[in-house]
Amino acid sequence: MRDYVFPGGTAVVTGAASGIGEALAHGLARRGAHLVLLDRDADRLDAVVAAIRTAHPDRRIETHLVDLADADATDRVAAAVRAAHPRIRLLVNNAGVALGGRFDQVTLDEFLWVVDINFRAVVRLTHALLPALKAEPGAHLVNISSLFGLIAPAGQAAYSASKFAVRGFTEALRHELVDDGVGVTSVHPGGIRTRIAASARVGSGVPVAEYEAGRKQFEKLLSIDPAKAAEVILRGVERRRGRVLIGWSAKLPDLLARLAPASYGKVLALGMRPPRAAAPAPTGAVTTGSGGPA
């Protein structure tokens, strides 16, 4: 498959108002792409668009406000994007949310909220926009999984379940779409310095003191600049890489899980000594689609 060509193509990015999504929007604009940006935070999204238009006045930029937890709203936005853009060169499913707490400390509604945004919205948008990708020669699909789509530590049942699902979905699509000439990349960021930990929901059964201790511990791991992460992702897209791991905080746990798939949890516990309820996952961008704080 030939290298991906950025200039002149239309790129759709979810969760574009902050974090990795914002950095991807800037990186794509610098590379000559036209943008369709989705988020639920109107003020932050407007600021991103204003900055890009100042730097790149010739880029076409379209925005959509959407709560990705709302399936009907997601479907409506997807249909509108496809109608306006029958040919899309790049789709980046970046939006995501986190939930702190063990499985027995969260409600079923809280658990499914994470799954709805982190996985089901990815499936909905990809299904709706795949015909537009297949209609554009040299198109590419990027789904942002996580470090916790490679390992599943205690306290991350909802988040890991959703991100492992994204990983499996993406790997299957990579095999299915190769004959259509559509590249597919699964991205696994490590400790990216975004707002996801600060803005995550807390399980209803998690004691506040316990959660805060875990959150502060995980925030220490968030050391990678989102702009650096975006550049790694875009280089991976250009080279048509099937999987992108960002930072040693993703690469080392991935190696550990490969070497000790049934017992790496003991090593994680020794190395991190987390409290009983783990804090939000140290990865990814804050969602445009959540019903919670952004």
Q: Which two tokens stand for residue 279?
A: 């804090």
pLDDT mean across residues, the chain: 88
Q: Which two tokens stand for residue 37?
A: 């940006």
Q: Which two tokens stand for residue 284?
A: 């990814």
In a domain, 276, yes or no: no
In a domain, 286, yes or no: no
Q: Is 30 exposed, middle or buried (0-12, 13-18, 19+ CB in 10 A)?
A: middle
In a domain, 279, yes or no: no
DSSP character at residue 193: -
DSSP character at residue 11: E
* Structural domain that includes position 160: 10-271
192 phi/psi in degrees, rounded to 5: -90, 135
In a domain, 248, yes or no: yes
Q: Is the dihedral of CA 22, 237, 254, 174 positive or negative?
A: positive
Per-residue pLDDT at 286: 39
pTM attached to this predicted model: 0.89
30-58 pLDDT tens trace? 999 999 999 999 999 999 999 999 999 99
Which residue stretches of 19-147 are H helix? 19-30, 42-55, 71-84, 108-115, 121-134
250-290 pLDDT tens trace? 888 889 889 988 888 877 776 555 444 444 544 443 344 43
Residues whose CB is less than 8 angstroms from the CB of residue 2 and which lie 6 or more positions away in sequence, other chains included:
138, 240
DSSP character at residue 224: B
In a domain, 2, yes or no: no
Domain count, the chain: 1
In a domain, 5, yes or no: no
- The answer to whether residue 211 is catalytic is no
Q: Which CATH number covers residue 61?
A: 3.40.50.720
In a domain, 178, yes or no: yes
In a domain, 291, yes or no: no
For residues 294 and 291, give the distance between their C-alpha atoms in angstroms, rounded to a whole number.
Answer: 9
